[in-house]
Structure formats: C-alpha cells, structure tokens
Amino acid sequence: MSSIFLRYADDEILDSGIQMPQRPLATASHHFPIDLLACGFEKYQADPTSFHAQYPWAARFVLGIPVPSWQRGLVWNAGQQSRFILAVWSGTDLGSYITNEWCGYPDAGRALAENSQILLDGQQRLHSLEAYFLDRLATPDIQGQPRLWSEIGRVERKRFLSTIFTHSSVCSDDEFLLRKTYDLCAQGVVARTHDQRAAR
C-alpha cells in the first residue's frame, strides 16, 4: 500500500480489467433559479386536476412534479426543512434535484407514460420549498424572528426566487435504471435504508 498519491499508475499492469461503478444513466445539468420551480407550482395549483390526469400513476406531487410510488416518503422534519430554506436565503450551495424527461404517451389518452417527468432526487428539498411557499414553515429573519413567506416583501422574495438551484435530468423509460439512479443519488451521503431503496 502506497502513501504517495499518483494520478496515474506507472505500471500499466495495474489496469488489469478492474472497472469501478458508474452512473446508470447519462445526466444533463442546468443552472436554473428557484423561480422556475415556483412558476411550475403556480400552474399546478391553478389546475391540479389536469396534472392528475397527465400523471394518474403518480403517488404524489411535490411542487407540481410527479413522484413515483417506489420512492420513499417525506421524512424531513420541520427543523430540517427550515435549515434548507435558511440555506437558500444564505446563498449556500443547494446541490441539485434530478428529474426524468418525458417518455411519451402509452395510448391516445392525455396521460403520459409512467415515470415521465418524475422527480428522482431532491424530494425533501423541494417539499421544503413547497411548505415554505404555502406558509406551513417559518424561517428566522436576521433578527431571529420566524417569518412566513406571505410576510416577506417583493424585493426579498425576488432575491429568494433568483437563487440558483441546479436541475439535473436523465431520459429513460427503463424503470429499473431509474430506480437504480434513485438509489445511487444519496449513496455515501445519506444512504437509504434497505426498505427505502427502489431497486431491490
């Protein structure tokens, strides 16, 4: 065992066919403001029936984005949610959330194919935003006074909504690969328990 780091091995024999894990699906990332999510949520609230007709197989919606039945439930408590909202206000890196792209129509109806446009990772963070927008969550201002979204003025709201929250996406109609991607998202960070994994 060497205690000296080398980017590449001098001895090509070390490339003996060993392969390390890799992502199951190619991922594209875009830096979008939270305002994009807020706009989608406004559309969902204006006509939830239409969303439910498009995604009849969704277990639930978070900010208007369908969540498949094989994802774990909502597990963050109010303290965790509040800390995330505080991170947005403070300009901390928010990581990313991941969705799957559109997979087409299975028939002539309005419903999209199962797993189209689903949220693969970031459900707890997006749900925190939803709770905040709906005044179900208060976050302290600079004086330490808990404040609801409805109490905040236009200038501060605009600052919050302009915060970048990276959106990553994959594109697949293969549920096994989507489940595998979901399971790998938090691997090594907050590993999901066996019962929370989708690809068992």
Note the pLDDT of residue 107.
66
Return the pLDDT at 189: 45
Helix (H, G, I), strand (E, B) or coil at 119: strand
Helix (H) and strand (E) counts in the chain: 6, 8
Residue pLDDT, tens place only, 129-144: 999 999 999 999 999 9
Residue 6 domain flag = no
Looking at residue 186, what is its pLDDT?
62
Is residue 144 left, alpha or beta, with left meaning phi > 0 and alpha meaning psi from -120 to 50? left
Confidence of residue 66 (pLDDT cuts 50, 70, 90): very high
20 within some domain: no
Residue 81 belongs to some domain of the structure? yes
At residue 7, the pLDDT reads 76
**178 is a domain residue:** yes
Cα–Cα dist 161/166, whole Å? 13
pLDDT at 6 over 90: no
Tell me, yes or no, whether 38 lies in a domain. Answer: yes
Q: Is the pLDDT of residue 165 over 90?
A: yes
Total number of domains in the chain: 1
Angle among Cα 58, 62, 67 to the nearest 5 degrees reads 30
Range of the domain at 165: 28-196
Report yes or no on 62 lying in a domain. Answer: yes
Pairing of strands 60-62, 164-170: unpaired
In a domain, 21, yes or no: no
Q: Is 103 helix (H, G, I), strand (E, B) or coil?
A: coil
Do residues 85 and 139 lie in contact, with contact meaning Cβ atoms separated by under 8 Å?
Answer: yes
Question: Which tens digit of pLDDT belongs to each residue from 27-39?
Answer: 899 999 999 999 9
Rounded to an integer, the average pLDDT of 93-111 is 81
- The whole-number average pLDDT for the span 175-191 is 76
| Residue 8 belongs to some domain of the structure | no
The average confidence (pLDDT) of the chain is 88
